[in-house]
Structure 1
């Protein structure tokens, strides 16, 4: 039996067991509530889709307390109450003003009967999305627009990232890799113009001299949990679609994921440099959590085969297999492409077009030894659950993992 078959057989058993146990659970949402006194720290990722089509629009929406989507996003966070959470697709605004507004008008105000939530620590920084390149990156004969930005976006900072934390973030030791060049990765999977005889020539030498690997950014944020340092490694690779036979987005997605796989392996990241010019990867033995919308499913979707396995199968990495009965049931109700998927719907995190794509596992929280996962899940309430009204907060669902951190006080 091959590896893919083993995964499917294993996961099918998990799904059957979970669905059989649904009747014994109070609700799907109750299972997401933290257990008081467990000592575990909840790490989460949530592509909140708090992006807007115009620059400044998100700040305007968050500056009042009545944006319907922001209220739902805040309630999802209040219901799951992560200690450390990455929010993908949160438009970057200089000075963190949008983050402050979200805190003040949404998180710190109880939504839908949930308790307010406060994060004393936050991190955000510029990203590559929407930053004009000055080049014709999609080779359509015109320069300008989202497709010719260093990362797809209509304005600088669209589809940005934010980390919120109850634990201190060692900002002095934080590393960002926004400007690491794609061509500086050894063996980079650069796209090829299939209409020429030259290899890997979709981008010109002039373009590659400036082309960043990261479509948004890669951040290594040391979080101090009870005095123990845990490296939160966050990113949001480009979707592996919206291109042609050159597969420029699929290849970039693959290498954006590979970056962390190399970064956490001693001896594999000598080529890495951060935006401050410091070289090398993660020190050996340091605990870490990889989090983010990786836009890559293990078995289905358009990502390059085994793209996510690069980090899933890296040394010390643990896959806690977070899932939800809500996702499994949604795949049955929605049908379409879901019926053709090889992967278990129980593990899905994104709810996409059922005619062509279907639901996928694209949002990941992957801890490393010596961290110990004790529980995990996806906030996807079952159809009929009172909190299923939150399922349309985003086309993604929050993924959480509760971790014991050895040595934390």
Structure 2
């Protein structure tokens, strides 16, 4: 079984609902090179939430218009029979009058939405699979409230050290007591998707936490990201404070197999001032509930000083980060894995150009088996 995570930066409805978009073609070419059995696409607009409603889900349009169509003569298309397009908090405004971003305007996108988005469903994600999804057992956590996580890091007005005066920092973000009662933890959603694979069940754990920046002295987004990453660590540990959108409480069963996939917007060991909390190191890399002894690598990342890097700003000399993951539970067997980031001297025709055209992120994949080696 090959699992892959790919943040295709801001892939929108108009691009995937019709053939011929250069970015979508480049991204599809990369997917066809890797040929994953299960794929999550981050930053794919959820068109069923968007004002521009169409009859076909964007993930299905992407499969039909791009992934199933060979992007090069030597490649073949991939038909994903099973897809899922979860509802996202991005661009979704709360009921009532709230000024989450403290700019003096109430209920305005993107800053006053539950997750940053210019419209409902912006920056969402979707899943495509060759294997059946047990739809009756999907658990989504879109409405889980941040304040219901014990020991959360929410900056709350009135608490010691929380800046609320714009004269001290006009970009400082925080929540009021009233906002605590409605503010959601997932900036998109967290979802547990059970896949039926060779008479076994493997739970795909999908999320896309908020980026830890753009938030002022209170480090609001950094703390939000920290707790979003923490959520799935608590979930696989079976913590009982968790509840899903159907009201079912508790985390995963002790004997469950799972693979965490997606852009976590958090990298291990980063010492940058705006990311001091390092939730990926704490909750993923150093967590025995995930197998992290071997992480996917690439020659392109190695050329930039970080073999495990999965994102760049596009400049060869610029900052690179490892923030995209495919991490199995320790009971599963990890085989080959890689990040699709060719070196500057690759001989594969136009692959590096397509990698750059598709996104500032790189596709990450891993072969994972339910059977021991």
After TM superposition, the score normalised by the length of structure 2 is: 0.88
Runs of 4+ more than 6 Å apart: none
- Within 1, Cα distance between the matches of 2:137 and 2:259? 16
- Within 1, Cα distance between the matches of 2:324 and 2:268? 11
Match of 1:384 in 2: 345
- 1:281 is the counterpart of 2:251: yes
Task: Give 1:406 shift.
Answer: 2.1
SS of the equivalent of 2:245 reads coil
SS of the equivalent of 2:29 reads helix
- 1:130 is the counterpart of 2:91: yes
Match of 1:48 in 2: 8
Equivalent residues in 2 for 1:244-393, closer than 5 Å = 244-266=216-238, 269-300=239-270, 301=272, 302-309=274-281, 310-319=283-292, 320-329=294-303, 331=304, 345-352=306-313, 358-385=319-346, 386=349, 387-392=351-356, 393=358
- Within 1, Cα distance between the matches of 2:276 and 2:242? 23
Task: Give 1:142 shift.
Answer: 1.7
Match of 1:81 in 2: 35
Say if 1:192 and 1:246, in contact at 8 Å, map to a contact too. no
Q: Deviations over 1:127-177 (max 9, x none)?
A: 001112341111122221211111001000000110111111111000000
- Within 1, Cα distance between the matches of 2:287 and 2:260? 11
Cα distance change of structure 1 residues 370 and 96 upon mapping to structure 2, 3 Å threshold: farther
Say if 2:185 and 2:228, in contact at 8 Å, map to a contact too. yes
Task: Give 1:219 shift.
Answer: 0.4
- 1:101 is the counterpart of 2:72: no
Task: Give 1:60 shift.
Answer: 2.6
- Within 2, Cα distance between the matches of 1:107 and 1:328? 29
SS of the equivalent of 2:203 reads strand
Match of 1:186 in 2: 150
Cα distance change of structure 1 residues 102 and 261 upon mapping to structure 2, 3 Å threshold: same
- Within 1, Cα distance between the matches of 2:137 and 2:28? 29
SS of the equivalent of 2:27 reads helix
Say if 1:192 and 1:200, in contact at 8 Å, map to a contact too. no
SS of the equivalent of 2:242 reads coil
SS of the equivalent of 2:334 reads strand
Q: CA RMSD in A?
A: 2.0
- Within 2, Cα distance between the matches of 1:104 and 1:84? 16
- Within 2, Cα distance between the matches of 1:117 and 1:147? 38
Match of 1:139 in 2: 102
- 1:394 is the counterpart of 2:359: yes
Task: Give 1:50 shift.
Answer: 3.8
Task: Give 1:198 shift.
Answer: 7.2
User: Where is the helix percentage greater, Structure 1 or Structure 2?
Assistant: 1
Task: Give 1:91 shift.
Answer: 0.3
After TM superposition, the score normalised by the length of structure 1 is: 0.80
Say if 1:50 and 1:70, in contact at 8 Å, map to a contact too. no
Gaps spanning 5+ residues in structure 1: where? 1-40, 52-57, 332-343
- 1:237 is the counterpart of 2:209: yes
Task: Give 1:313 shift.
Answer: 2.6
Gaps spanning 5+ residues in structure 2: where? 49-54, 165-173
